[in-house]
Amino acid sequence: MSRSSIPKKAKARKKGAVTPKPEAISFRVEVLPTDDTSNYYANYIEVAHSNFDFVLSFLRIPTKYSALQVERAQKTGTIGFEPFLQVTVPPKVAFGLIQALQKQCDLYEKRIGPINSAKGAKSDT
């Protein structure tokens, strides 16, 4: 859950009257997934940014590659995969995501044990 606030709707006023600043309402966001909520598996996420936003591209890299993909990898050293989802967020949300992920990783490691990153995994950060 996260905290948010929105202004209360001001009452209608006569024309020309000074409108007071709306009063803020403080609340917590509660995520309530249902059986109909979409759920995707991604084993690769690329992160990019512009001056205004961060973009997360979610991919599912297969365990077996086609002959064409193998040939391309041998020739170019790369294989292209189309993301099945891209999520664009503003910097404040990206910062909150980093904090939330770190908190969840810490809780996971306390409960289950250290998260071992893949040996030889390359990071573009």
3-state SS, one letter per residue, for 102-120: HHHHHHHHHHCCCCCCCCC
pTM over 0.75: no
Cα distance between residue 78 and residue 118, in whole Å: 19
Give the pLDDT confidence score for residue 49 in this predicted structure: 97
Residue 121 identity: A
Task: For the chain, 125 residues long, give each residue's pLDDT as a single digit of tens.
Answer: 555 655 555 555 667 777 777 888 999 999 999 999 999 999 999 999 999 999 999 999 999 999 999 999 999 999 999 999 999 999 999 999 999 999 999 999 999 999 987 654 555 54
* Nearest CA among 27, 34, 32 for reference residue 4: 27
Residue 45 near residue 60, CB atoms below 8 Å: no
State the pLDDT at residue 7: 58
pLDDT at residue 10, rounded to an integer: 55
Q: For residue 117, what pLDDT is reported?
A: 73
pLDDT at 125 (0 to 100): 47
| Three-state secondary-structure class, residue 99 | helix
